[in-house]
Amino acid sequence: MDASDLLRSGLLHLSDSTLVRTTIEKAPVSRNVVQRYVPGTDVAHAVEATAELRATNRQVTIDYLGEDTLDAGQAAHTVDTYVGLLRALKAKDLSQFGAAEVSVKLSAVGQALPQDGEKIALDNARIICEAARDADTTVTLDMEDHTTTDSTLSILAELRKDFPDTGAVLQSYLHRTEGDCRDLATAGSRVRLCKGAYKEPASVAYQDAEDVDLSYVRCLKILMEGEGYPMVASHDPRLIDIARALASRHGREPDSYEFQMLYGIRPDEQIRIADRGHQMRVYVPFGEEWYGYLMRRMAERPANLQFFLRSLVSKG
């Protein structure tokens, strides 16, 4: 394990630290820094950020932050927030033809509840999918830690019976993901491939960054060869170039796959990709529960940590 892997492991550990979270949240400039990666806390902020991104021909997927909900009322609140968001996007003509969609963590809508969690999450996800359909857009189910993978894929299969355009997310750091890619590389199947951002044991996930990248390429080959719609979630120039080459090799048109990047990371490159005629979608998170999200983003791309720490200690 090299230095970057150790840093990543440490940041993932910090994502669970209440003490560190409290310290960062109380730092005077934290909120200003966080706004680079999280545009705000409510629906209005998310809609405003979406409008700005659409003005530069970038597509959007929006995540209302929160996960591991153990309260049915909170899960219902999350559903209501998504429904309100989708209505607001429709009212502003931002969601049509899937230009702005939503990403949903099932643990935020009930999956982690001790009684009937999977059924509650499925029912709640259906409500969001109905609202998305009414707004002429789609839903993508975010993937979380490996203990939820089977449940998430099971719920995905159920949702796709009525909402076939529901998107999936697969994580290349899991040993199982090549097989999952083969299962999901079917006609009409939207699959976002990312590296993965949770702290996982070596028994289920690659620990070395190079191994994760190699797995990413193997998975990407399967998706590009298949009949589905690959969504290439990466900021790594090498992987982006490989994705373009694979798409060309398999005769894919620019509208048969897309690139995805996180809000606030490589925005100039996002615009360049869109200007070249490729589909470029930006993952926009919003809400009060930004801390865990932010730490995982630092772990995915440790170069961001230097910017964040410098901002925390600066006076402006």
Instruction: Supply the pTM of this predicted model.
Output: 0.88
The answer for 57, left when phi > 0, alpha when psi is -120 to 50, beta otherwise, is left
To the nearest 10 degrees (0 to 180), the angle between helices 43-54 and 72-91 is 40
Of 4-18, 119-133, 135-149, 280-294, the poorest mean pLDDT is in 4-18
N-term to C-term CA, the chain: 36
Mean pLDDT of the region 167-182: 98
Residue with tokens 């560190």, as numbered in its chain: 20
20 pLDDT more than 90:
no
d(CA 165, CA 256): 14
Instruction: For the chain, state the CA radius of gyration.
Output: 18
316 pLDDT more than 50:
no
pLDDT digits (tens, 9 = 90+) for 226-244: 999 999 999 999 999 999 9
pLDDT band for position 102 (cuts 50, 70, 90): very high
Of 25-29, 65-69, 141-145, 197-201, the poorest mean pLDDT is in 25-29
List of residues 6+ apart from 237 with CB closer than 8 A: none
Q: What is the pLDDT of residue 34?
A: 77
10 pLDDT more than 90:
no
Nearest to 260 by CA among 212, 208, 164, 195: 195
Please state, in angstroms and as integers, the Cα–Cα distance from residue 28 to each residue in 170, 257, 316, following that order.
37, 42, 10
pLDDT digits (tens, 9 = 90+) for 243-261: 999 999 999 999 999 999 9
Q: Which residues are catalytic?
A: 142, 192
